[in-house]
Amino acid sequence: MATTTRPARTTRPTGTLSAREGMARQYDYWLTVLKRTWRGGVVSSFLTPLLYVVAMGVLLGGFIEGDPDTLEGATSYLAFVVPGLVASHAMTIAVSESTYPVMGAIKWHKTFYAQLATPLAVRDLVNAFVAFVVFRVAVACAVFMLVLAPFGVFETWWGPVLAWVGQVLVGSAFASLTFAYSARLRSEEGFGLLFRLGVIPLTLFSGAFFPVANLGPVLEWLARLTPLWHGVSLSRMLCVDRVDWSLALLHVAVLAGLTVVGWVLAVRNLDKRLEV
Amino acid sequence: MISARGLRKSFGDFEAVKGIDVEVRRGEAFGFLGPNGAGKSSTMRMIASVSPVSGGQLRILGMDPATDGPAIRGRLGVCPQEDTLDNELNVFDNLYIYGRYFGIDRATCRERAQELLEFAQITDKAKAKVEDLSGGMKRRLTIARSLINRPEVLLLDEPTTGLDPQARHVLWDQLFRLKQAGVTLVITTHYMDEAEQLCDRLVVMDKGLIAAEGSPRELIDAHSTREVAELRFGVGEHEALAGKVEDLGERVEVLPDRLLVYSDHGEDVVTAVLERGLHPLATLVRRSTLEDVFLRLTGRSLAD
């Protein structure tokens, strides 16, 4: 009965709400956030990547010979670049939505503190936050894939659907990992570092724009170790219908595993951060 | 309602709360009075069941925050020191969405939000943005928000810090009404007038420990005289003159800008000072306050 006999607690109680109930109670909050922010999201989520597709896929890609043997099975550069672009776009959205908004909820708006004064626990906050980001990624990627469908870049109808699931997995992996990073960060300068040393190199060298085989043996393997490459490769093999199922399984396992690791770290870091 | 035994809180090597015993009873207004850094807010966060206890025992509503945190928080209202209102939501949504976190159904949330807007006297601001509210209104909204779950205990951390006198009185009036409605209030403050106005009972905290406990009246009776004569002399003269008046009262305190002579008969002290040929620039006779109690107990004034 007496707490004195027990060692001091190091973590906050995880809470007795079920995960589902914890998220359900925040539904109205995130719905309000969505109503307020979706307009801005349209530009960054749809317009920007569309410009990329036109510039890189159509205009630049027009100079590139569509040889399936050098383009990982794609019959045109457009068909090659689109699945990779969407996967890397999933990463960009997930990272952006889990940087400043997380810091804001800790430092500027103190939303997390207010939410924690209720029956909600740290775990519930992370769940709802990541779920919201994944939802945004899912919508953005779905719309994007639908828009591109008439351009003949997809070989089957089911491939792109599975590719979309893979893109959503990219979103969940990067959202939870970035959340974990942001929850530790004291000042926003760390985000500049994350974008310059993380997001941009990953976007450029994870096989979205060119086959990683072009990098040479050492760098190729380095690229294959990045989380984004798993997403790009998964997305592409499904879209161009050259599926290596055992490799696809590996991609899914890596992305799901990273999501779990990110989630555990996110909960731990946020708990530590908010215990002032 | 709340019971703490040997309660401690440390952050690394720093001990913010060094073992305190506190008992809060149903329906009373209980205060933690002390300067900044006394450990009041750390104590409040432990009671709010968001900050784990480092040592000792804590029971809130009969439950242990280590295992029943969410259940306890569901029955508490928390008004934090810094406003944690959502600036991106309008006033009404701040109440409505907060209610949803407690698992209150949508219709009831709407109903209560409307009632609380009236209670906080901000009904006409329902659709306004939070950032357009005055400091006093934000504070009232924060308190209104903390009432959305009809809490049995309301925790108020420095409720009127930063408010102008008029806004403070509006707020105090609301807290009185809550108390009359049977809500147990737990208040931290470094304003002695606030503690005297609001608290039935309080503890004086200093450096993580409780220095004294009782009702404001009891504390003043126990630790100070009925009256205080304040004597203001020229800059830098106070220390030297203290010896010349110290026999006139039970005790003399030297502050940078004045001497405080503690006596049950303040006017007599002033008369005697003038008879001795001393010429203070200003004199004031007043009743003892909790500020005097704090000065007595800690040798420092509340304003640091």
276 residues of chain A, pLDDT tens digit each: 333 344 444 444 445 788 999 999 999 999 999 998 888 888 777 788 888 888 888 888 888 887 888 888 888 899 999 999 999 999 999 999 999 999 999 999 899 999 999 999 999 999 999 999 999 999 999 998 998 888 888 989 999 999 999 999 999 999 999 999 999 999 999 999 999 999 999 999 999 999 998 999 999 999 999 999 999 999 999 999 999 999 999 999 999 999 999 999 999 999 999 885
Classify burial at B157, counting beta carbons within 10 Å of its beta carbon; exposed 0-12, middle 13-18, buried 19 or more: buried
Residue B165's pLDDT is what? 87
Task: Give the separation between CA B209 and CA A42, rounded to whole angstroms.
Answer: 55
Q: Has the ipTM of the complex gone over 0.95? A: no
Residue A4's pLDDT is what? 39
Query: Is residue B297, in this structure, part of any structural domain at all?
Result: no
Residue A51's pLDDT is what? 86
Query: Is residue B300, in this structure, part of any structural domain at all?
Result: no
Query: Is residue B266, in this structure, part of any structural domain at all?
Result: yes
pLDDT higher than threshold 50 for residue B2: yes
Residues of A in contact with B96 (CB under 8 A): 28
B267 shares a domain with B237 = yes
Residue A15's pLDDT is what? 52
Residue B302's pLDDT is what? 63
List the single residue in A with minimal CA-CA distance to B41: A276
B229 shares a domain with B202 = no
Query: Is residue B292, in this structure, part of any structural domain at all?
Result: no
Tell me the average pLDDT across B225-249.
85
Residues of A in contact with B87 (CB under 8 A): 109
Residues of B in contact with A26 (CB under 8 A): 100-101
Number of domains in chain A: 1
Q: Which helix (H) or strand (E) holds B132?
A: none
Q: Do A114 and B85 touch (CB under 8 A)?
A: yes
Tell me the average pLDDT across B215-226.
91
Helical axes B216-223 vs B290-298, angle rounded to 10°: 50
Query: Is residue A72, in this structure, part of any structural domain at all?
Result: no
Mean pLDDT score of chain B: 90
Q: The CATH number of the domain where B179 resides is what?
A: 3.40.50.300
Task: For residue B260, give its domain range.
Answer: 225-287
Task: Give the separation between CA B138 and CA B273, rounded to whole angstroms.
Answer: 48
Query: Is residue B299, in this structure, part of any structural domain at all?
Result: no
B259 shares a domain with B202 = no
Assess contact for B227 and B263: CB atoms under 8 A.
yes
For residue A32, give the nearest of B51, B52, B89 by CB distance.
Answer: B89
For residue B64, give the nearest of A3, A25, A116 by CB distance.
Answer: A3
Amino acid in position B2? I
Q: Do A15 and B100 touch (CB under 8 A)?
A: no
Task: Give the separation between CA B42 and CA B25, rounded to whole angstroms.
Answer: 20
List the single residue in B with minimal CA-CA distance to A110: B84
Domain boundary among B205, B220, B235: B220
B244 shares a domain with B142 = no
Residues B192-214: pLDDT tens digits? 888 888 999 999 998 999 999 99
Q: Do A3 and B93 touch (CB under 8 A)?
A: no
Task: For residue A141, give its domain range.
Answer: 22-32+78-274
Query: Is residue B96, in this structure, part of any structural domain at all?
Result: yes
Query: Is residue B296, in this structure, part of any structural domain at all?
Result: no
Assess contact for A273 and A184: CB atoms under 8 A.
yes
Question: How close does chain B come to A261, measured CA to CA in Å?
Answer: 25
Query: Is residue A83, in this structure, part of any structural domain at all?
Result: yes
Residue A190's pLDDT is what? 94
Most confident of A165-169, B189-193, B259-263: A165-169
B30 shares a domain with B164 = yes
How many H helices and E strands in chain A? 13, 0
B254 shares a domain with B157 = no
For residue B87, give the nearest of A16, A33, A109 by CB distance.
Answer: A109
List the single residue in A with minimal CA-CA distance to B51: A275
Number of domains in chain B: 2
Question: How close does chain B come to A177, measured CA to CA in Å?
Answer: 24
Q: Does A35 touch chain B (CB under 8 A)?
A: no
pLDDT higher than threshold 70 for residue B16: yes
Interface of B with A (CB under 8 A): 5-6, 45, 48-58, 64-71, 73-74, 76, 78, 80, 82, 84-89, 93, 96-98, 100-103, 106, 146, 149
Residue B303's pLDDT is what? 61
B98 shares a domain with B192 = yes
For residue A113, give the nearest of B6, B73, B84 by CB distance.
Answer: B84
Query: Is residue A244, in this structure, part of any structural domain at all?
Result: yes
B245 shares a domain with B211 = no
Tell me the average pLDDT across B70-80.
93
For residue A117, give the nearest of B48, B52, B85 by CB distance.
Answer: B48
pLDDT higher than threshold 50 for residue B41: yes
Query: Is residue A27, in this structure, part of any structural domain at all?
Result: yes
Residue A10's pLDDT is what? 44
List the single residue in A with minimal CA-CA distance to B19: A4
B260 shares a domain with B165 = no
Assess contact for B188 and B180: CB atoms under 8 A.
no
Beta strands across the sheet bearing B251-254: B251-254, B259-263, B227-232, B282-287
Give me the residues of A, 4-23, that contact B with CB < 8 A: 4, 6, 8-13, 15-17, 21
Residues of A in contact with B98 (CB under 8 A): 114, 118
Q: Do B73 and A117 touch (CB under 8 A)?
A: yes
Query: Is residue A64, in this structure, part of any structural domain at all?
Result: no
Residue B271's pLDDT is what? 87
B234 shares a domain with B157 = no
**SS3 label, residue B259:** strand
Q: How far is CA A250 from the centre of its chain?
A: 18
Query: Is residue A243, in this structure, part of any structural domain at all?
Result: yes
